[in-house]
Amino acid sequence: MKVHLPVREAILKRRTYEAPAEGRSDKLRLDFNENTTGCSPAVRRALAALSAKQLAMYPEYEAPTKRLARHFRVRPQELLLTNGGDDALRVFFDTFVEPRTVVLICEPTFPMYRYYAEIYGARLSVLRYGSEMEFPLEDVIAALRRKTRVFFIANPNNPTGTLLQQNELRKILRAATHTAVVMDEAYAEFSGFSAVPWIRKYPQLFVARTFSKVAGLAALRLGAVIACEKSLAFVRRAMPPFPVNLAALVGAEAAVNDGATMQGYVREVKRLRAWFAAELKALGVKTYPSAGNFLLANFGPSGPPLFRKLEKQGILVRDRSKDIGPGFVRISIGTQSEMRRLLNAIRKEWKPLA
């Protein structure tokens, strides 16, 4: 029997999104910007306390949403919980994007913006960061005046580490009179800035957050969208009734109740980020200022062979040679011992070209 499935053209035109690696648990994981110290012990205790009866029920969201809203210092009506940070981005396509409507992004950036735009059949308007990873502010302003549907901006940006100044963000929001501005703040805790307090002033502003990074809950998949109540109400219409699992809710509450653990992790990341950048500079490696829990570095043409050697030693970093240029790599900031292990391997294996 011959069967012809009516697959959408946008799906036929693109490849499956493949995660960069599997079998990572026993390796030095400096490729996904994970919290390599792990989650708070309070999270594991909370998960262990879940009963069989609770796991057999559909989750309830009202009480956890209230408690997590207090963490973000917003009202419950201004917070929408999602199945991970990726789902917090997908819901904007369900809400605002129709085939052939324009989505604006600045690359290099988080690849999921492009991924969803291609799946939904949107027209991508792509601007580029400069050679020194400068944000193309004036080009963005001009594009927004053409009334694009959605503008996705990571702040800090992944992989550049770029953090926009507040006056630059205000210019963007003032220009976006007909555009949903999605500010992806996956790394906000490391930068010291969040646009969340601006949501009531700018109804076109949506802030996406995640518990995968600073809270160390990547495996539980919990994200959030924060916006003014009236604007967020449109996004709620695109959500299924049970988007978030109970373990994620319980783990997130335990994590935010143990603020000292998260704050300690952030302090250590900032310290090691500065130290590691200085060590790479001493070796002649170019790095870029970062406000995230990672560094973007350029090892030049001799970089890709180095990255392959590191992988053979069980040290994983995120090679960005294909989309930024040969030798570019994003390196997550792990623990002191992890960063020393990486540094020692670089000193041993890297041979810069004369």
Count CB neighbours of 184 within 10 A.
26
Q: How far is CA 52 from CA 49, 56, 57, 246, 253, in A?
A: 10, 6, 9, 12, 19
Cis amide linkage into residue 156, ω under 30° from 0? yes
Cα–Cα distance measured from residue 294 to residue 73, given in angstroms and rounded to the nearest whole number: 26
Distance of CA 89 to the CA centre of its chain: 10
Same fold, 9-37+260-349 and 41-257: no
Q: Do residues 22 and 336 lie in contact, with contact meaning Cβ atoms separated by under 8 Å?
A: no
CATH topology of domain 9-37+260-349: Aspartate Aminotransferase, domain 1 (3.90.1150)
* Residue recorded with tokens 């994200």: 223
In this prediction the pTM is 0.94
The alpha carbon dihedral of 318, 14, 183, 223 has a sign of negative
Q: What tokens appear for 288 in the block?
A: 């870029």
Each residue's pLDDT tens digit, 186-207: 999 999 999 999 999 999 999 9
| Cβ burial, residue 13 (10 Å; 0-12/13-18/19+) | exposed
Residue type present at position 68: L
Structural class in CATH, domain 41-257:
alpha beta
Q: Report the candidate in 257, 238, 231, 252 with the shortest Cα–Cα distance to residue 78.
A: 231
Distance of CA 213 to the CA centre of its chain: 8
> Torsions phi, psi of 77, nearest 5?
-70, -10
Residue 17 confidence (pLDDT): 66
Domain edges within the chain: 9-37+260-349, 41-257
Q: Which residues in the chain come in under a pLDDT of 70?
A: 17-21, 353-354
